[in-house]
Amino acid sequence: MNNSVSIVLAAFNGENFIREQLESIVDSEGFSSCVKEIIITDDGSSDKTIAIVEQIKRSRNLDCIKIVYNNQHGIINNFCNGLSYCSGEYIVLSDQDDIWEPKKITILKNALDKCTGNNIKVPALVFSDSMMVNECNEIISESFFKYNKINVRDDIKIQSLLTKNIAQGCVMMFNKALMERIDFSTKKHWVMHDWYLLLLASYLGRVCSVDNKLIRYRIHGNNALGFQKQNIFSKIASFNKIFQKYRIYIDKVINQACFFETEMNVKKNETLTASLFFKNETTFMRKIMSLYNFNYIKKRINYYRCLHHGVYEQGNHHE
C-alpha cells in the first residue's frame, strides 16, 4: 500500500534538534513511496522551531509536511491534536529531538502487516527497541529495553501493562483500525498517550515488537527526568521526596488502569491488584516503595473502581 503512512511529530521549542530529526525521517528508506504526510503539531513554540520546519519544507520540496497548532497545550493534547489530522492507514509518532534509523519505516510497516496477517480491520500496534544517546549523539545505552529491564515477552501481557509502560511512543507504529477505537474525550484519565495506546491494542487487537533499535532516543536537559539513575544512598537521603513522587505517580497509574478496566469490561482475572505493583517493579527501591504503600494502593484501587463505576463523584473519598 503506497503513500499510506502518516507521521505525527509533536514540537515545542525544539530548534536545537528538530532539523536533525526531520531530516532523518525524510531520508528514511521508503519515505517517498510509503509516507503520505508529516503532521507537525506545535504546542506554542517561541523559538525558531517552525521557521526551521518551513525552511526544510521549501528547500526539499516537501508538500507532505503540514503544520498545525495545538491550542489545548501539553504533550498528550499535542499528540492527540496531530492524530486528529491523520488520514493514513498507518500512523507513526515522533518526538522532535531523536534520530531515526534509515529502515525504521519499512521495518515497522512490514512488522505491522505480519502482526495483523495483512488484515487492516484488526487493531494493532508494533514497537521496537531504541538506542539511548545524549544531546551530542553519544551512546548512553545500546538498548532502551535492557536499560529499563524490560522483558517484552512477559511485559506485553495486559496485567503487566496495567502498571508499567514498556514502549515509547516514538518507536511505535499502529494502524487506522486502532486509532478509530481511541476515545479522545477520555484522555484526562491517561498517564501518557503511548501507554494507553498499548493497553488498547493489547486488549482489543494485537501488539507485536521487533528487536531492532530503530531510533536514537536522545536524553538531554529538557527530557532527562526519570533517566538520571541514583545510587542507593542518594535515594535513601531523598526518601521523602521520592515517597511523595511515587504516590502521585501510582495514583495516576491506578486511575488509568481502573478507567481502562471499566471501559473495556476487562475480565476479573486480568484486572489490577496491589500485588502487581510489587511484581512489575524492576528496581529494589521501587519494590520497597510498592510494599510500603501496599495498603494505600489497595484503597486507591477501590476508590477509582467505585469512581469509574459511578458509585460516587470524583473529588470525594480521597485518602
Domains along the chain?
A: 5-218 (3.90.550.10), 232-308 (no CATH)
For residues 76 and 187, the answer to whether their CB atoms sit within 8 Å is: yes
Quick one: pLDDT at residue 318? 45
Quick one: pLDDT at residue 1? 59
The model's pTM: 0.90
Q: CA angle at residue 69 from 68 to 72, to 5 degrees?
A: 140
Euclidean distance between CA atoms 19 and 49, whole angstroms: 9
Residue 66 falls in which region: left (phi positive, over 0), alpha (psi -120 to 50) or beta: beta
Quick one: pLDDT at residue 268? 87
- E strand residue ranges, the chain: 5-11, 35-42, 65-69, 90-94, 99-100, 124-133, 139-141, 172-175, 206-218
Which is it for strands 35-42 and 5-11: parallel, antiparallel or unpaired? parallel
Q: For residues 216-252, b (16+ Cβ closer than 10 Å) or e, as one string?
A: bbbbeeeeeeeeeeeeeeebeeeeeebeeebeeebbe
For residues 209 and 187, the answer to whether their CB atoms sit within 8 Å is: no
Quick one: pLDDT at residue 98? 96
Quick one: pLDDT at residue 5? 98
Determine the residue type at 217.
Y
Tell me the β-bridge partners of 35. 5
Quick one: pLDDT at residue 235? 58
Blockwise average pLDDT, block size 10, the chain, 319 residues: 90 97 97 97 97 98 97 95 97 97 98 96 97 95 95 92 96 98 96 97 96 95 55 64 90 97 91 94 90 96 93 50
In the numeric block, the cell 522532535 is attached to 96
